Structure 1
Amino acid sequence: MNAMLTQSDEQRMLVDMVDGLLVAEDHAWSNFAEQGLLAMPFATGEGGLDSSAADLSLVMGALGRADVDVPFLASAIIGSRLVRNLASPAQRLHWAPKITAGTMVLALAHAEPGQHFDAAPVGTIAEPTASGFSLTGQKTMVLGGKHATHFLVSATGPSGLNVFLVPADAAGVTMSPHWLGDGAELTLTGAELSSSNLLDGPDAAAFLAAALDHGLAGLVAGAVGAMEQLHHLTIDYLKTRKQFGVAIGSFQALQHRAVDMLIELEQARSMRDHATAALDADPAIRRRAVLAAKAYVDGAARLLGETAVQLHGAIGMTLESPAGRLFRRLSTTQMQLCDRTQCLHELSLSPASLLEEDE
């Protein structure tokens, strides 16, 4: 299956390794650590691999194809990027080995009730105490929150926007997992933190925005991977399911539906690659690229998913069917970080067309 437009030998080896890992029934987080996947976002001086955004996208695509529920996006892409860019050198040296070993699992808690995809201004308050800070507020739609050992919580403090590392088992922290997916709701009621839990690098807002954009690109890559697998399963089903003594794939009307699925998939791949390539660009260009990709892929995923379910028939509606589970995964992804409506709204406010160069 096509994972990216072009791949180096090393990237093909990475995909083969991840695919092989995901074939096994045991998807333990420790296995991801042992294979070095959790070290990918960190610099080599911190025990990491300093992997590119394209490499991380390949991992997300493999996870999407395998429909595996692990917090790679939340911890290894969004959370690790925040720690790498916003934490002090001493904090990184202390936390990075735990993250890469899989014993510290991160989840960003930023969105808030009533704001969801645009948590600005941040209503969670960080009040100074004798030993550090006390956090009070509520966070919603915390991606990967069900698996987290530590939350990266955005809060408004005396100096403005800050990000804190909050242990999931700290007093005053209540996590309520969603019934579908790996998300959660988070309530902080006077959660006491040491001053060492404040990520004290400069410009928290800029690094938070960058981490969220990388998260959107990761979501897109995972969705495209799920779409690839769903398309593959549907084509196989059309070739093997028989009606009136012939394979239903011989019916021209169903062939046309399969072609429509392929067109959506190929366009989604292009948008994924465009977003991934833009992650190192100017923040405004990066933001438009990931928003456009998420908006397009959300729509394509819905069309491809609904078509796949229709072509599978009743079995496609069940969670016993891989097609049904992939359809559920794609439906959940459409509501994560930024839905299609919000993406299009934010794009409409952009001062420049996506097809024009910034001056």
Structure 2
Amino acid sequence: MDLELTDEQRELAQTVGRMMKEHYDAEKRDVVLKSELGYSDEMWGRYAELGALALPFAEEVGGAGMGFGEVAVVLEEFGKALALEPYISTVLLAGGLIDAAGSDEQKAELLGGIGEGSRKVAFAAQEPGSRYDVSAPQTKASGSGEAYTVSGEKQGVLGGDSADTLIVSAAVDGEVGLFIVDANGAGVTKSALKQADGFGAANVLLSDAPAQRLGSGDASAIITKAVDVATAGLCAEAVGAMESALTMTAGYLNTRVQFGRPIGVNQALQHRASDMYASLELAKSMALFARLAATSYGENSHRDIVAAKIQINECAKHIAEESIQMHGGIGMTMEYPIGHFAKRLTVIARSFNDQDGLIEELASAGGLLAASAEV
């Protein structure tokens, strides 16, 4: 098995990396973060022009006909720059649901709009009191054919603040169904909010909101897969953020002078930086493991992605904490970039499920490796 990037993936990484360095440095990101939107519509347009928004979708619906491997390459570069645009929520999460469950007409309209950058979509699944469990929604849908209404409350909808369209999970006829709802339409009340890392989200109240069913039948397995693939995307993004945090910390150790010499000559700090590098390499290996599981999604993919996310969370915690500590007081200021990397890594570790929930889930599945003992 060839685990190296293909020539096309390397070229994609270089292209996205150049774009982010040119248009998304720390100062420009700070302007975007403090703007009314909280993300850059200009950059969203650049992603569309590059084809990044259409990467995983079929050419028949205006996509690029590529796979998760290419998406992971893009997300790693986004992680290095801490890009604030709702890429995972629109392309991987909501886009994945539409691609898996939608009719040909729904795919053409929604995925085509996502790919060209004219439509942002968010998946509204989490509900008050449910924590991370999205398997049994209390939101209700009623109707038939093309005429449905949806009522319920969703919270922490990632990308919901900027979404034009919502994909809402709801109970219907004893099943979990998915429904397309106009995010700014009748019966929909959105309350925009910001996560600790600056990314946008929303709480959504639905009161007999007109809806169209996305596909048919129970969508539980489709939801699980979409969340898994989005989790694998977070793993790739986390690796990019960790790499930038380590690079920034190493640079600080080599330039911060104390008592007439760089603090990086201190052997204890060198050892700690070496441990950070080891954590980064471990995270890269586990992100690759998650990428392979998401690319060829099968029977064990959910378990493998959960296992990868557990280890990446540990590596992210280590690198984030060490980066802040080795920067000293300046690392605690909002004006200095390193704290923003720590915030993003902390939020990634709690996206879709927290560490305790992931460990419990992996344990319930029997662990990553089957137990064995010689008699």
Alignment TM-score, normalising by the size of structure 2: 0.89
Deviation at 1:335, TM superposition (A): 1.7
Whether 1:189 aligns to 2:203 is: no
Q: Which moved more, 1:230-239 or 1:142-151?
A: 142-151
Q: Could you tell me whether the CA contact under 8 Å between 1:153 and 1:163 is conserved in 2? A: yes
Counterpart check, 1:239 vs 2:254: yes
SS in 1 for 2:300: helix
User: Residue 47 of structure 1 aligns with which residue?
Assistant: 62
User: Partner letter of residue 355 of structure 1?
Assistant: L
Distance 1:152 1:131, change over 3 A: closer
User: Which of 362, 367, 374 is the aligned partner of 1:353?
Assistant: 367
Partner amino acid, structure 1, of 2:326? L
Counterpart in the other structure of 2:188: 173
Structure-2 separation of matches of 1:201 and 1:11: 35
Q: 1:68 aligns with which of 83, 97, 101?
A: 83
Where does structure 1 lack aligned partners over 5 or more consecutive residues? none
Conserved 8 A contact 2:161-2:200 = yes
What is the 5 A alignment of 1:178-257?
178-180=193-195, 181-193=199-211, 197-257=212-272
Deviation at 1:254, TM superposition (A): 0.5
Q: 1:87 to 1:36 in 2, by over 3 A?
A: same
Matched residue count:
350
Q: Taking structure 1 as reference, are residues 131 and 75 closer, same or farther at Cα in structure 2, changes over 3 Å only?
A: closer
1:315-350 deviation per Cα after TM superposition (whole angstroms, max 9, x unaligned): 111121111111111112122111111111111111
Shift of the alpha carbon at 1:143? Answer: 1.5
- The 5 Å alignment of 1:126-141 reads 126-128=141-143, 132-141=147-156
- Counterpart AA for 1:186: V
Match of 1:8 among 6, 9, 12: 6
Q: Which of 5, 17, 31 is 1:19 aligned to? A: 17
Q: What is the alpha-carbon distance in structure 2 between the residues aligned to residue 42 and residue 16 of structure 1?
A: 22
> 8 Å contact 1:141–1:336 — kept in the other structure?
no
Distance in structure 2 (CA, Å) of the matches to 1:254 and 1:322: 20
Whether the aligned pair in 2 keeps the contact of 1:85 and 1:201 (CA below 8 Å) is: no
Secondary structure in 2 matching 1:118? coil
User: For residue 73 of structure 2, what is the aligned residue in structure 1?
Assistant: 58
**Are positions 1:317 and 2:335 aligned together?**
no
3-state SS of paired residue (2:166): strand
| Contact 1:82–1:207 (8 Å) recurs in 2 | yes
Provide Cα deviations, 1:271-308, integer angstroms capped at 9, x if missing partner: 11001101245644111111111111112111110100
RMSD across aligned positions (CA)? 1.8
Checking the alignment, whether the CA contact within 8 Å between 2:55 and 2:64 is kept in structure 1 is yes
Partner of 1:183, secondary structure, is strand
Indicate conservation of the 8 Å contact 1:40/1:49, yes or no: yes
Identity %: 35
- Matched with 2:94 is 79
- Return the alpha-carbon distance in structure 1 between the equivalents of residues 157 and 298 of structure 2: 23
Task: Give the counterpart letter for 2:9 in structure 1.
Answer: Q
Q: Secondary structure at the match of 1:119?
A: coil
Q: CA deviation at 1:192?
A: 2.0
Structure 1 distance, partners of 2:149, 2:229, is 29
Which TM-score applies when normalising by structure 1?
0.93
Amino acid at match of 2:206: L
Q: 1:178 deviation in Å?
A: 2.3
